Amino acid sequence: MKKQYLLTPGPTPIPPEVALKEALPILHHRTSEFAAIYKDAAEGLKYVFQTKNDVYMLAGSGTGAMEMAVVNLLSPGDEIIVASCGNFGDRWIKIAETYGVKVTSVSVPWGNAVKPAEIEKALKANSNIKAVYTTFTETSTGVVNDIKSIGEIVAKTNAVLVVDSISGLGGQEFRTDEWKVDVNVCGSQKGLMLAPGLAFISFSEKAWKLAETSKIPKFYYDIKKYKKSFASNETPFTPPVTLIVALRESLRMIKEKGIENMWNDYKLLAKAARAGMKAIGLELFGEVPCEVVTSAKVPEEIGGKIVKTLREKYGVSIAGGQGDLKGKIIRFAHMGYIGKADLLVGFACLEMVLAELGMKIEKGKAVAAAEEELIKG
Ligand SMILES: *Cc1c(COP(=O)(O)O)cnc(C)c1O
């Protein structure tokens, strides 16, 4: 037996109130009882998304909603801009190219934030661009992008703005409508404190207009089917009933706390996490650090061993780097149901592991620095 601490940027731990809902007997999905739950959950999603538009739920991970945002807007041969700054931004390129969409990439090296001015330049250079795809919090590097500025730029054109907010929603200020985001996609297992398996997508009027011209074939992911069912508080196919019952509870908890208060909590956790890393000589990674995950560089000699040792010896799961960053960074999440005490546990165990792997650190310094920030509040 080993007690587990999940401090990874997805999946994240879930509150016991939400876990208990997942244990309830299965409801049939074509009943008024389920429709009422679905309706509540749909309202809760609008609040978390900060949108007036309907937010559709589908069975699938976040990537399913990303694919939905490609196949429902575009036709083969269409031109889009992808502004990527990491692994998840690059996923937009892979999905689009799968369907024969032509991608103009205004990507930046991993660790940097995308440049709104570059998006503006690329839009000016090509009036055929149908949509701009980007990422809010790039979980692979820990960087946040300036979606508000990008929204201002894209709104002045005919292009639709699509944002992957899978890891950032709930954890850091995001305003779908105010920031002029046309399509916003999210998943259940990060900031929304739920098990993996549900994905969400919102569509603006401008997006619906573009969707009318879309010729990419689709069946399960055809958003028109979801829109039609939504009107009667249903999904077109069998939904993950259990997850939607639990979703209603997690969204109720978020609403009760207030989304702004959530954002403030993670801001403080991020401050404490950054202070903790610096205190033991780990240089922060990323040009504009986000507030849901903290990335830091680690010595390459031990970089490959930290994550595994932490998990095996202490039951603490954090994440390492992806792609070229493998073995070079660690990523410590503070999203979803991760709190102040979890952060301190994570740092205490990280210090032990770094010391055990031979790094010269003064034990207790990361914890002390994090405590300092948490006390200041
Ligand atoms: C986790 C994540 C994804 C992928 O989501 P899945 O649920 O694994 O499909 C995409 N984008 C970002 C920013 C993420 O953090």
Spatial separation of the C-alpha atoms in residues 181 and 55, rounded to whole Å? 13
Confidence (pTM): 0.98
Q: How far apart are CA 194 and CA 187, in angstroms?
A: 9
Given the DSSP bridges, would you call strands 79-83 and 129-135 parallel, antiparallel or unpaired? parallel
Q: Select from 164, 192, 221, 290 the residue to mutate for testing ligand 1; criterion: most ligand atoms less than 8 Å from CB.
A: 164
CA distance 138 to 65: 16
Is any ligand 1 atom within 6 A of the Cβ of residue 214?
no
Report the amino acid identity of residue 140: S
Q: What is the CA radius of gyration of the chain?
A: 21
Structure confidence at residue 1 (pLDDT): 81
User: How far, in Å, from the CA of 64 to the mean position of ligand 1?
Assistant: 10
Q: How far apart are CA 287 and CA 330, in angstroms?
A: 16
Report which ligand 1 atom has the smallest distance to the Cα of 167: 15
In what helix (H) or strand (E) does residue 257 lie, and over which residues does it extend? helix 241-257
Report pLDDT for 189.
97
Give me ligand 1 centre to Cα 39, in Å: 25
How much distance in Å is there from the Cα of 362 to the middle of ligand 1?
35
> Which amino acid residue places its CA nearest to atom 11 of ligand 1?
88
Q: How high is the pLDDT of residue 257?
A: 97
Helix (H, G, I), strand (E, B) or coil at 154: helix
Output the furthest CA–CA distance in the chain (Å, rounded). 62
Q: pLDDT tens across 159-211, in order?
A: 999 999 999 999 999 999 999 999 999 999 999 999 999 999 999 999 999 99
d(CA 106, CA 83): 5
Residue 67 φ then ψ, to 5°: -60, -40
> Is the sign of the CA dihedral 49, 53, 57, 58 positive or negative?
negative
Cβ of 168 less than 6 Å from ligand 1: no
- The reported pLDDT for the residue numbered 8 is 97
| Residue 53 reports pLDDT greater than 90 | yes
Tokens coding 352: 């032990």
Give yes or no for a contact between 270 and 289, defined as CB atoms under 8 angstroms apart: yes
Nearest to 287 by CA among 88, 84, 111, 139: 111
CA dihedral 76, 77, 80, 82 (to 10 degrees): 80
Cβ 90 under 6 angstroms from ligand 1? no
Q: Which contiguous run of DSSP H or E holds residue 276?
A: helix 259-279
Asked if residue 322 has its Cβ within 6 Å of ligand 1, the reply is no
Given this model, what pLDDT does residue 256 score? 98
Sign of the CA dihedral with 263 first, then 269, 273, and 279 last: positive
Ligand 1 centroid–CA 215 distance in Å is 26
Binding site membership of 166 for ligand 1 (Cβ less than 6 Å): yes
Structure tokens at 159: 């292009």
- For all residues of the chain together, what is the average pLDDT? 97
pLDDT at residue 2 in the model: 85
